[in-house]
Amino acid sequence: MTEQEPLVVVPAHPGAGDQLIFEARREPGGLVLPVFSSVRVLVAGLGRSQPWAVVSLAAVMKAADAGGVDRVVLDPPVSYEAWRWEPTDLGGFSWRQTT
What one-letter code names the amino acid at 1? Answer: M
In this prediction, residue 19 carries a pLDDT of: 86
Domain contains 43 = yes
Domain contains 20 = no
In this prediction, residue 2 carries a pLDDT of: 54
In this prediction, residue 89 carries a pLDDT of: 74
User: What would the pLDDT profile of 37-84 be if each residue is shown by its tens digit?
Assistant: 999 999 999 999 899 999 999 999 999 999 999 999 999 998 888 878
The model's confidence at residue 94, banded by pLDDT at 50, 70 and 90, is: low
Residue 72 is part of which domain span? 1-8+34-80
Domain contains 89 = no
Under a CB-based contact definition with an 8 Å cutoff, are residues 35 and 10 in contact? yes
CA distance 1 to 95: 22
pLDDT higher than 60, residue 6: yes
Domain contains 29 = no
DSSP-derived secondary structure letter, 37: S
CA distance 45 to 8: 15
